[in-house]
Amino acid sequence: MDETLIEAVKQWNIDASLPLQVGDFTLIFSFEPDGKGEETIFAYKNEKKGWTVRALYNDGSGDFSVRVDIGMLEFSLIEFITDDFDAFRSMTEERLPAIIESHYVHAEKDFNVIMKQKGVPDGDWESLLPAKYAGFRRTVDPTCAVRIINGSYMVAAYYDGVTQSGLAVMYNFLRDDFFAERRVHNFPNLVHDFDSTSVDELRGALRERLCPVLDEIRDKAERKAL
């Protein structure tokens, strides 16, 4: 980032241009350019869940972007990618707080028709999905499923931020199926115990396999840490 751009970013009155709080997300202004890869301009952080939404500048590509980290997955919001600082500033001021509100604070407002017709958020999930298990904390359940990428919602997630390990169950509304991914020290791979095409099938798989799979992930995370 050249000196002119650094000065332009420093002159951006972020705490006056963006809300200091969006739901449980708190604005953190943390611009300290070092010319080494990605520079964080500011971030919204949800301390309770460990989620972040970061505004970034990439020294290599010269692009600005917004990157979302929800523990079990990290991805960019492609609509914010630009090499024009003025355009990026305008987009983030006008659109980012509303996106955080609808996508990650009140995610139920972001359900599409297919999700609703499928019945994913309906019924009693609380008794099926414990709030905590084996050191993992539930960060997502079907009543507040989070829209992610590639036509999918994350409908359930358990995560341990210390080991960067956990389990996420997704619903792809383009394929109309459920699938899952586990992470052990942030290394991902698919787990097929929860592959299903109906909500009833998914409930049955979670009832039978959720705790055993989380036990396996915990065991692998502990053995890998030794």
Encode pLDDT of 123-174 as tens digits: 999 999 999 999 999 999 999 999 998 899 999 999 999 999 999 999 999 9
Please list the residues that pair with 64 across neighbouring strands: 57, 82
pLDDT of 191 strictly over 80: yes
Instruction: Name the residue ranges covered by the structural domains of the chain.
Output: 3-104, 109-225
The pLDDT assigned to 109 comes to: 85
Cβ-based neighbour number of residue 179 at 10 Å:
17
**Full-prediction pTM beyond 0.75?**
yes
pLDDT classification of 18: cutoffs 50, 70, 90: very high
The pLDDT assigned to 24 comes to: 94
pLDDT of 36 strictly over 80: no
What 3-state class would DSSP assign to 11? coil
- Tell me the mean pLDDT in the region 62-80: 94
Q: Determine phi and psi for 110, rounding to 5 degrees.
A: -100, 5
The pLDDT assigned to 1 comes to: 74
Q: Per-residue DSSP letters for the chain?
A: --HHHHHHHHT--HHHHS-SEETTEEEEE-----SSSEEEEEEEEETTTTEEEEEEEETTT--EEEEEE-SS-EEE-GGG-BS-HHHHHHHHHHHHHHHHIIIIISGGGG--HHHHHHTTT-S--TTTS-SEETTEEEEE-GGG-EE-STTEEEEEEEEETTTTEEEEEEEETTTTEEEEEEEETTEEEEEEEEEESSHHHHHHHHHHHHHHHHHHHHHHHHHHH-
Cβ-based neighbour number of residue 214 at 10 Å:
21
Closest CA to 165 of 214, 104, 96, 116: 214
Q: At residue 135, what is the residue type? A: G
